[in-house]
Structure 1
Amino acid sequence: MAWLDGRCTPDNPVVERTELLDFRFEGRRIPLIDNQLGIRKPKDLVAALSMLTTYTSDGQRAPYEDALGPDGFLRYKYQGNPQHYTNRGLREAHTLGVPLIWFFGVQQGLYLPFYPVWIVADEPEQSQVAVALDESQTRLADHTSLTPLERRYSERISRQRLHQPVFRQRVIRAYNTSCAMCRLRHVSLLDAAHIIPDRDDRGLPAVSNGLSLCKIHHAAYDANILGIRPDLTIQVRTDILQEIDGPMLKHGLQEMNGLTLTLPRRRADRPNSEAIEQRYEAFRNAS
């Protein structure tokens, strides 16, 4: 985890599979992930060291959406047979209360690490464990009898700590680390904008419901200063086009009118047409 602290930065928080497989500690090669299995349990350790979620393309539905339980805690499935040594390693981590690392795939061979995480419950009937992403979650009462307020808090933590960062990485990388409107490529100035807002039940954290936008165009999109037509052409609100201000208004907003979005190379990552149409109707109603 200390190595990850130094390796990962806000602008580059991901690690490559080759780095994780070649990790060395005190001169010894000790891979941080298993080459074939989702759970890494080194033979010299009593408990599991890490968990891994493989990257999968997420057309309409994010692959991790089902991982959130009704108590607001995330779930991680066993690796095959419940008595497999890797699953026993997860249960041992729960018994000992030791932290793990969760590597989440955001692209082929590229992972966003979450650490420390804790196993807070073993659920053998469902072949899974419950995972806390924040130490504050481990201090909640029995996760099977949370109050409504505690459940909402736990769910908010899980979404903020996992869903939002994974969504951001997947969307920005799908758009080749550039703004879909102005082509700005400074990653620290880019956001992953939802087409259908995440507060809406239809606002899934899937790449096809996202756009890579610079911060000013993200804010303008959310504020309905500009919209995206079903043909993926940018439309600036009429009153904004008629304003006279400074160079930012002229070049940053007004000159976007009539331009076409830059799209991801993969079709599965491109904006969902129904989501674009719904969001455009909201823009027209606001105009």
Structure 2
Amino acid sequence: MNDSLIRLAAFEWLERQNEIHQDILPREVLAEGFNYKGERITLVGARGIWKPKPMALPLSITSIIDNGRYEDKLGDGDDFMHYKYEGENPNHYSNVGLRDLMVSATPLVYFHQVMKGKYIACWPVTIIHDNVENLSFTVALDDKQRIRMEGELGEVGGFY
């Protein structure tokens, strides 16, 4: 299957879901996903870096609130987010997948949990830097996404 076409289909599906759910997406909707040419494309899973089975590279990254293990955060006053590696091994397959997205400038989706089981989605975002020393990636958000995230987060309790 063609990853690029699946990504575009996922972005279009997310547009429709945002309209239906007024920009706050239930996890169960994201976990169920959508059908693409007879294949189920899920947008989230058990891991923060998510690659649906039919795809070669990750489709999404997810941050959750009250997570002591990973400290993903927006940069101060800029359009970037710092997303922690999965584990501490830079060569873990999930981290390699994000690195491959960075090298190819391939966009993905960022989900940020705003309350248990509820997420806002930002897309397309891109990985622009691999911070090996901090075990994290720098993710670029555009102005529209940043404003939307800050607005939604302000309404539901802020960014942690």
TM-score range for the pair, normalised by the shorter chain length: 0.7 to 0.9
Structure 2 residue aligned with 1:18: 28
2:136 pairs with 1:128? yes
* Superposition deviation, residue 56 in structure 1: 3.1
Compared with structure 1, are the counterparts of its residues 5 and 71 closer, same or farther at alpha carbon in structure 2 (3 Å cutoff)?
A: closer
Are the structure 2 counterparts of residues 82 and 206 from structure 1 closer, same or farther at C-alpha, using a change threshold of 3 Å?
closer
Query: Which amino acid in the other structure matches residue 20 of structure 1?
Result: L
Q: Are 2:17 and 1:30 aligned?
A: no
The residue number in structure 2 matching 1:115 is 123
Measure how far apart 1:47 and its partner are.
Answer: 2.1
1:93 aligns with 2:80: no
Q: TM-score, normalised by structure 1?
A: 0.45
1:58-117 deviations in Å (ceiling 9; x for gaps): xxxxx76x4316865211111102222111111111011111001110111111111111
Higher relative contact order, chain-length normalized (CA < 8 Å, sep 6+): 2
Q: Is the 8 A contact 2:39 2:54 kept in 1?
A: no
TM-score for both structures, normalised by structure 2: 0.77
Secondary structure (helix, strand or coil) at the match of 2:120 reads strand
Alignment of 1:215-226 (within 5 A): none
Code of the residue aligned with 2:59 in structure 1: it is L
Structure 2 portions without partners, runs of 5+ = 1-10
How far residue 22 of structure 1 moved from its aligned partner, in angstroms, is 1.1
State which of 77, 93, 96 in structure 1 corresponds to 2:84.
77
User: Secondary structure in 2 aligned to 1:9?
Assistant: helix
Matched with 1:166 is 153
Segments of structure 1 that go 5 or more residues without pairing to the other structure are 58-62, 135-155, 172-204, 208-287
Tell me by how many angstroms 1:160 deviates: 2.3
Which structure dedicates a bigger proportion of its chain to helix? Answer: 1
- Structure with more strand by fraction: 2
State the aligned residue count: 145
Q: Is contact 2:111-2:120 (8 Å) kept? A: yes
Q: Does the 8 Å contact 1:73/1:158 carry over to 2?
A: no
Q: Distance in 1 between matches of 2:79 and 2:19?
A: 28
Larger radius of gyration: 1
1:28-67 equivalences under 5 Å are: 28-34=39-45, 36-56=46-66, 66-67=73-74
Judge conservation of contact 1:48–1:92 (CA < 8 Å) in 2: no
C-alpha distance in 1, partners of 2:145/2:27?
24
Q: 1:4 to 1:10 in 2, by over 3 A?
A: same
